[in-house]
Structure 1
Amino acid sequence: MKSHVKALVVGGGAVGTSIAYHLARAGWDDVMLLERDELTSGSTWHAAGLLPYFNMSYATTHIHDHSIKLYKTLEDETGLNAGFYVVGNLRMAQTDARMDEYRLYAATAETVGVPFEWMTPAQIAERWPLVRTEDLKGALYHPTDGYINPADVTMALARGARQRGVEIERRWQVDGYAWKGDHWDVTVTKMAEKGGNLVPSDETTVIHAEHVVTATGNHAQRTAKLLGIKIPAIPVEHQYIVTEPDPALVDYRKTHGEHPVLRDADAKWYVREERGGWILGPYERNAPARFEYGVPDSFRADLFPLALDRIEEEYMSFIHRIPSSEQVGLKDDYNGPICYTPDGNPLLGPAPGLRNMWLAEGFSFGITAAGGAGHYLAQLMVEGEAAIDMASLDPRRYGGDWMTTEYAARKNEEAYEHVYILHHPDEERPACRPLRTAPAYDRQRALGAQFGCVNGWERPNYYGPLDAPDSFDHDARSFRRGGWWQHVVDEAKAIREGVGLIDATTFAKHRVFGPGAAAFLDWFTCNRLPKVGRINLTYALTAHGTVRTEYTIVRLAEDDFYLVSAGAWEAYDGDHLRKAEEDWFATQGGGPDGWFGVENVTTKWGVFAIAGPKARAVLSDIVKDADAATVLSNARLPWLSAREIELGMCPVRAIRVAYTGELGWELHHPIEMQNYLWDLLMKAGEAHGLKLVGARAQNWLRQEKSYRAFGNELGRDATPLEAGLDRFVDLSKDFYGKAAMEKTGIRSACVTLRIDGPADADPWGREALYLPDGTRVGRLTSGGYSVAFGQSIGMGYVRPDLAAEGTALKVRIMGDLWDATVTCDSPYDPKNATIRADG
């Protein structure tokens, strides 16, 4: 066994072997894979092998698409049949809401180029007469996917890896990781079989690896402990049963091809053929998490006791949908661990706080994702970035000290249960909430706040009726304009016409300070740094020149900076800042005149955003100053400036900026004084008609101003120049990623569109864009409704030649194409007259 390697992959399931294969395919010729038992001995061996395209995530859809295409080529390359049966995938719908879900998903599929067909109940019955259809509304059919033998595809990937020089070693367990500054020392122990169990032998060695990838599946909690980090990947029990041959199916197959994989999402199961019978896989309620604190040494390729009473409802619905199955006995059954994460998407990318350590954990659909996960992770490792923005899968999206094992276990159980529950784009899942609450939470809840969850924080999405039960938000959800829509319209109008108050406490906040802070930030971000008392919007770039993150930088002093970024990305941004700090000192040196520190101050500061034409009037009633009449004027607190002021007894860092595009301020305040400030603002606002406003209205309003949002328009697949942010890029200076950004050029362009959409629906930001002749030319990244223009609005990317104002396009909303027109940047108040208004 080698003692020095370029990359060490830990874990020999489908995901691990795919990563090893793709690293070798990408040109790394010194790769090793370790497996503590045998290849496929984890969840891979008992997986049902389904390959569903369906996913609401743009990145995950790309990953699934790559897998499905790759698996069809493996036999030609390796000589091993991967056992891929291209039978198609039929997703049936019992309700109109389910059909709307499919229409929204289909819009995402179109942006990736995934083929699909719509089918009526009559067409289903004609083609597959064993399926009962009278209570169906229709179905979405993917003709190019199906199912695969998990062991076969894993072995094919392993052979492909070996053919490219990868060394695969079985029966070696990792027992320790130690970072040595430029490589990892990985302590491994030879495993021996004793009494049917695997036990450590006396044979140990150390492998020196420049990079390590963990793909340890059910053993993720052990991996987390060895690395000293948190990995919210914990298995949940998943049962499926195999029936005896169904005579009706056997007879049908004499003259017909195999059924597609059948999914009755409203009944919460999938079914496929298996040797003349059926495999039924339900996603029931109350499936428990397992191995929260590690997998017992005695558990190998084992299963749990069955709990068939838990899936009785799903079994009966299977009989209803395929009546011939009622007389068929059970042949086999499985109840095994399948790893999940709190949102159901894998953790794929850099490990938080660690160098050259990569995670590939939490794959609930590991067979489907393995091929694409290996492909895109190899791009990240070898090239520095993937061809698609991987932030939505980044392990650092779950970070910080607040994350616990209990939270991960309960949220993973919820994610499992929600596999077939309607995936409303406005859904907010209830498990483990509320957990992180700002002090004003109870006051907001009493006033009708309907909360969303951002990085564990509760944040008002909108304010519903005061007499509504707690279930109002659930009842209000829809794929179209839900019950919340009119409330959000009213909130957006209040900002445009009067004054509104938004709780923005969830913003991530970091302080960078010290004599070397300015030099570091000048290199770290692409815009010029602000002067003391001023602010600038700027971007940290990737090595490829794309947008790594967005910051609002407030310069408090010559060597003291306050950085504000998106709340959902606190750990992501903090980890990048700290690693960039290390890189700076490693390349530039430090010394007494060059040191600086990075401090996460997110939980020290609350934030209220007050905005609207009457915002100054509200604050003027409570500001304390020797010349209170002018403290909020443009002369003393102009647009894009910051000032320490006093509101009543509360010291406030007032930042003259508004994400809504109206006259406004962000009021950053000591978190312990939040309730005092809330009450003060509410009382002062009474005379001016102040209205409470949530995040959804703010999202609509920022689109009227063409303000890009990180995770939507801004990400690691577009440069700031492609995003149309030239004014925030200072090309006269050197900064990280500059050369790569200039070399990339303009591959696509960010535009704002006014949309003549349906009367009952708006785009969500996942829809495909077309020319009037039907040619697909781009996609939306944001969507909503404009109160200023009385129509739908959206932002997205198109070919550069189509970015001119007035270009006529089409956008797919709820299955139909609707007219869309490229408008100017900042269609509402393009000259920024309102936001600059003086007092």
Structure 2
Amino acid sequence: MKTQTKVLVVGGGAVGCGIALALAKAGWETMLVERDELTAGSTWHAAGLLPLFNMGYATGHIHDFSVKLYAGLEAETGLNAGFTRCGNLRMAQTDARMDEYKLYSSTAETIGIEHQFLTPAQIRERWPLVRTEDLKGALFHPTDGYINPADVTQAMAKGARMAGAVIERRVQVNAYRWTGSEWIVECERMVEKGGNLVPSGEIFEIRAEHVVTATGNHAQRTARLLGIKIPAIPVEHQYIVTEPDPALAAWRAEGNPEHPVLRDADAKWYVREERGGWILGPYEKNAPARFLYDVPDSFRADLFPLDLERIEEEYMSFIHRIPTSETVGLKDDFNGPICYTPDGNPLVGPAPGLRNMWLAEGFSFGITAAGGTGHYLAQMMTEGEAEIDMAALDPRRFGSWMTTEYAARKNEECYDHVFILHHPDEERPACRPLRTSPAYDRQKSRGAQFGQVNGWERPNYFGPVDAPENFDHDARSFRRGGWWQYARAEAEAVRNAAGLIDATAFAKHRVSGPGATAFLDWFTTNKLPKVGRINLTYALTETGTTRTEYTIVRRAEDDYYLVSAGAWADYDRDNLLKSVQDFMAAGGDFVSVQDVTTQWGVFAIAGPASRDVLARLIRDADPATALSNKRFPWLSAKDIELGMVPVMAIRVAYTGELGWELHHPIEMQNHLFDRLMEAGEPLGLKLVGARAQNWLRQEKSYRAFGTELGRDATPLEAGLDRFVDLDKDFRGKQAMLDKGIRSACVTLLIDGPADADPWGREGVFLDGKRVGRLTSGGYSVAFGKQIGMGYVRPDLAAAGTRVKVRMLGDLYDAEVTEDSPYDPGNERIRQNG
């Protein structure tokens, strides 16, 4: 048996075989081991649907690639994968659901996924067995369909073998050991005994430069073996198969085509034809998480008992939608484990803290995602990065604070949210609040309506404290929701007086030691600031795209304080630590990295009155000049005292107004909050949430990581040349230059509809052709119209270029503005006191 390979894939379900296929075709020596038989996990009992619909850009690309790959597998391998391209009809009972489909349509357009909208009359004409009088319409994917999970897995496995991969069954991994240059994977042969799979006692090792885990329901065992956290835990999913429906048989006997996969999203189920009958798959409430710690050795290709009471509501709505099914009996049932993650996206990418260890876990739509995951993960491994930004799937997006209980409860919530309306301002309630800053209760009592970022509760906006009983703070909309008027008032307060924003969730790291300066000079694109000053800078991938944005405060010659996006704290820490290891391994001096995120609270105060608010609190020998431009210039940092609180104040404002970030000992936050509110309320200080801040930063064309900034664009493409020092060497520099300018980041002012703003998923068009896409969107209080940021063809990036933006199905006029359309000279930021 082979015991040495370039890459070892652990897990022989659809995802593992898709990865092995892609890596082998990319030219890497590939081996796959499976503890049982190929498809023995969730793959065997999956319904085999291939839903192209996905609100995420990266996941949408993955699903699209899979469907196209599967269509050609038989020609490539000679094995029929059982692909039936019957289409997918996603029905809508409400106008809000149609709005969701229109927003999705923008994402689909940017990916190139074929789709069309149908009226109820068109549905009824094409598929008369479907009841339509209570529908608003539907979204139809003609290239969608379903596939046989076992057949497609075997076809991908054969394709992998044809490309040189070795696949071994009945091999269980028991341990992983990193030597510094390769993984030693301890394996054991498994044998069948009394219907169970048991260890044989035959132990051997496989050496591999890289390892990919695609262990499905066994992800918790994998996490324990690797010493990391993987929040992938299965949830029960049941579906039923009916006896043949005579009306369906008659319909097909007349020569009519197979029904598309039917999805009644508002009723929370999917249905497809199966041998003259129907398969009904509901996504009901109260489906339990299973295997929180281990899959029992006795559980192989097994199922759980059916719980018909739990799906009674969905079953009755199925009969309502297809009335001929009422008299049809049940033929078979399936209730098996399907893995989920807290946000529903799989975990695809580097394992935190480990070298050359890659995760592909937590696939709730594993059949749909298998081929595309293999393709893009193989790009990441063999080329350095995928052609699309895969950060939304990065395993390090979940913090190490996450527990098994949290993951299980969030995964259950994610399951019953499969068919809910996916508003862009969606906030899911399970396991909240959990991570709270000390001022959480004070803000809540003042009307704060919280969102969640990396587990932290962060105010989205501040609603009325004395709201009437029928006021719905949780109201969501694809248009301007109930929160909109409050966000607008907060944005206006920042522009006209002052606003206070809780930014405690920021990721914060201290980088120090004798090698800190040389390390950061190599690690980031910009010149390092002088002591007491700050700069904005970027860490790049090896392929020259943007991995992270940092604000760097230089506290001393070799002591730096780095601030980055709160959603990416563990992602940034992992990248920092691995980069420091690379630097020191290459001969660099010692560098210390400390994650100090939970030690420091942060308030951002901004607006023309912000200096006056702080002047009432500052303790200084000359308080009248302590905050002046001369003593405290823009882009500098100072240790100051506000009342009794020592504060590291940074003169910068993400909103584009005069302002400071106030980094303070987190245990003193409540005292500081009370003093700031006392001093500020007479001057018009208003509490401000993340939504207003997001609008304001777009008026200044401030790029944000995860939207304009990501692993698919360089800082030069993002228009951030002023933060890139080409006179020095830094990681990714040549790769960045080699990429050139493939697209350009712009800010657009949009003459959109009266009741809606863009969300950052919309396509940009010129003469009827798509020429770009938005990555952010919102409302501009300065210009009184919609605003957005995104990427367009470089020849369309000049200010004054007229284009159109598709919002909720219609095209609206838009104009490319100069960068920072609000206060382009930064006069308001620099104003003196």
TM-score range, shorter chain: over 0.9
Question: What is the CA-CA distance between 1:399 and the residue it aligns to?
Answer: 2.0
How far apart in 2 are the matches of 1:77 and 1:214? Answer: 26
Tell me the secondary structure at the aligned position of residue 476 of structure 1.
Answer: coil
**2:722 counterpart letter in structure 1:** R
Among 629, 634, 637, the residue aligned to 2:632: 637
How far apart in 1 are the matches of 2:439 and 2:376? Answer: 42
Question: What is the CA-CA distance between 1:467 and the residue it aligns to?
Answer: 2.5
Question: What is the CA-CA distance between 1:465 and the residue it aligns to?
Answer: 1.1
Give the corresponding residue for 1:325.
Answer: 325
How far apart in 2 are the matches of 1:122 and 1:564? Answer: 55
Question: What is the CA-CA distance between 1:475 and the residue it aligns to?
Answer: 3.8
Task: Map 1:113-262 onto structure 2 (within 5 A).
Answer: 113-254=112-253, 255-262=255-262
Task: Map 1:758-777 onto structure 2 (within 5 A).
Answer: 758-771=753-766, 773-777=767-771
Task: Map 1:588-737 onto structure 2 (within 5 A).
Answer: 589-590=587-588, 594-737=589-732
**Length-normalised TM-score, structure 2:** 0.99
Task: Map 1:281-680 onto structure 2 (within 5 A).
Answer: 281-400=281-400, 402-468=401-467, 475-587=474-586, 589-590=587-588, 594-680=589-675
How far apart in 2 are the matches of 1:679 and 1:76? Answer: 70
Q: Cα gap change, 1:210/1:759 in structure 2, threshold over 3 Å: closer, same or farther? A: same
Q: Please list the CA deviations of residues 267-291 of structure 1 after superposition, one character each: whole Å capped at 9, or x if unmatched.
A: 0000000000000000000000000
**2:657 counterpart letter in structure 1:** E
**1:832 counterpart letter in structure 2:** N
* Contact 1:473/1:484 (8 A) holds in 2: no
Give the corresponding residue for 1:836.
Answer: 830
* Corresponding pairs, count: 832
Tell me the secondary structure at the aligned position of residue 830 of structure 2.
Answer: coil
Give the corresponding residue for 1:5.
Answer: 5
* Contact 2:463/2:473 (8 A) holds in 1: no
Question: What is the CA-CA distance between 1:234 and the residue it aligns to?
Answer: 0.1
**2:77 counterpart letter in structure 1:** T
Question: What is the CA-CA distance between 1:395 and the residue it aligns to?
Answer: 0.2
* Contact 2:269/2:280 (8 A) holds in 1: yes
Give the corresponding residue for 2:773.
Answer: 779
How far apart in 2 are the matches of 1:330 and 1:585? Answer: 65
* Contact 1:289/1:409 (8 A) holds in 2: yes
* Contact 2:537/2:551 (8 A) holds in 1: yes
Question: What is the CA-CA distance between 1:717 and the residue it aligns to?
Answer: 0.3
How far apart in 1 are the matches of 2:341 and 2:483? Answer: 29
Tell me the secondary structure at the aligned position of residue 584 of structure 2.
Answer: helix
Question: What is the CA-CA distance between 1:689 and the residue it aligns to?
Answer: 1.2
**Length-normalised TM-score, structure 1:** 0.99
Q: Please list the CA deviations of residues 653-683 of structure 1 after superposition, one character each: whole Å capped at 9, or x if unmatched.
A: 0000000000000000000000000000000
**2:383 counterpart letter in structure 1:** E
Tell me the secondary structure at the aligned position of residue 144 of structure 2.
Answer: coil
Tell me the secondary structure at the aligned position of residue 708 of structure 2.
Answer: coil
**1:286 counterpart letter in structure 2:** N
* Contact 1:450/1:473 (8 A) holds in 2: no
Task: Map 1:794-809 onto structure 2 (within 5 A).
Answer: 794-809=788-803
Tell me the secondary structure at the aligned position of residue 84 of structure 1.
Answer: coil
Give the corresponding residue for 1:756.
Answer: 751
Question: What is the CA-CA distance between 1:491 and the residue it aligns to?
Answer: 0.2
How far apart in 2 are the matches of 1:473 and 1:574? Answer: 38
**1:788 counterpart letter in structure 2:** A
* Contact 1:763/1:783 (8 A) holds in 2: yes
Tell me the secondary structure at the aligned position of residue 364 of structure 1.
Answer: coil
Q: Is 1:742 paired with 2:737?
A: yes
Q: Please list the CA deviations of residues 408-447 of structure 1 after superposition, one character each: whole Å capped at 9, or x if unmatched.
A: 0000000000000110110100000000000000000000
Q: Cα gap change, 1:469/1:330 in structure 2, threshold over 3 Å: closer, same or farther? A: farther
How far apart in 1 are the matches of 2:103 and 2:471? Answer: 23
**2:430 counterpart letter in structure 1:** A
How far apart in 2 are the matches of 1:85 and 1:833? Answer: 62
Question: What is the CA-CA distance between 1:470 and the residue it aligns to?
Answer: 9.9
Q: Which runs of 5+ in 1 are unaligned?
A: none
How far apart in 2 are the matches of 1:127 and 1:542? Answer: 50
**Moved >2 Å (runs of 4+):** 467-476
Tell me the secondary structure at the aligned position of residue 122 of structure 1.
Answer: helix
Q: Is 1:816 paired with 2:822?
A: no
Question: What is the CA-CA distance between 1:471 and the residue it aligns to?
Answer: 9.3
How far apart in 2 are the matches of 1:288 and 1:474? Answer: 29
Question: What is the CA-CA distance between 1:687 and the residue it aligns to?
Answer: 1.5
Question: What is the CA-CA distance between 1:782 and the residue it aligns to?
Answer: 0.2
* Contact 2:346/2:363 (8 A) holds in 1: yes
Question: What is the CA-CA distance between 1:596 and the residue it aligns to?
Answer: 1.7
Question: What is the CA-CA distance between 1:515 and the residue it aligns to?
Answer: 1.3
* Contact 2:449/2:473 (8 A) holds in 1: no
**1:607 counterpart letter in structure 2:** V
**2:406 counterpart letter in structure 1:** Y
* Contact 1:427/1:474 (8 A) holds in 2: no
**1:579 counterpart letter in structure 2:** K
Q: Cα gap change, 1:227/1:530 in structure 2, threshold over 3 Å: closer, same or farther? A: same
How far apart in 2 are the matches of 1:692 and 1:319? Answer: 50
Tell me the secondary structure at the aligned position of residue 827 of structure 2.
Answer: coil
* Contact 2:234/2:337 (8 A) holds in 1: yes
How far apart in 1 are the matches of 2:388 and 2:506? Answer: 25
Question: What is the CA-CA distance between 1:691 and the residue it aligns to?
Answer: 0.5
Q: Cα gap change, 1:471/1:430 in structure 2, threshold over 3 Å: closer, same or farther? A: farther
Provide the aligned C-alpha RMSD in A: 0.8
Question: What is the CA-CA distance between 1:27 and the residue it aligns to?
Answer: 1.2
Give the corresponding residue for 1:825.
Answer: 819
**1:288 counterpart letter in structure 2:** P
Q: Please list the CA deviations of residues 55-82 of structure 1 after superposition, one character each: whole Å capped at 9, or x if unmatched.
A: 1100000000000000001000100011
How far apart in 1 are the matches of 2:617 and 2:68? Answer: 63
Tell me the secondary structure at the aligned position of residue 76 of structure 2.
Answer: helix
* Contact 2:473/2:482 (8 A) holds in 1: no
* Contact 2:42/2:217 (8 A) holds in 1: yes
Name whichever of 217-226 and 682-691 sits farther off.
682-691
**2:778 counterpart letter in structure 1:** G
Tell me the secondary structure at the aligned position of residue 75 of structure 1.
Answer: helix
* Contact 1:719/1:741 (8 A) holds in 2: yes
Question: What is the CA-CA distance between 1:477 and the residue it aligns to?
Answer: 1.0
Question: What is the CA-CA distance between 1:473 and the residue it aligns to?
Answer: 5.9
Question: What is the CA-CA distance between 1:248 and the residue it aligns to?
Answer: 0.1
How far apart in 2 are the matches of 1:700 and 1:797? Answer: 18
Give the corresponding residue for 1:67.
Answer: 66
Q: Please list the CA deviations of residues 260-318 of structure 1 after superposition, one character each: whole Å capped at 9, or x if unmatched.
A: 00000000000000000000000000000000011011100000011110000000000
Tell me the secondary structure at the aligned position of residue 510 of structure 2.
Answer: strand
How far apart in 2 are the matches of 1:605 and 1:729? Answer: 29
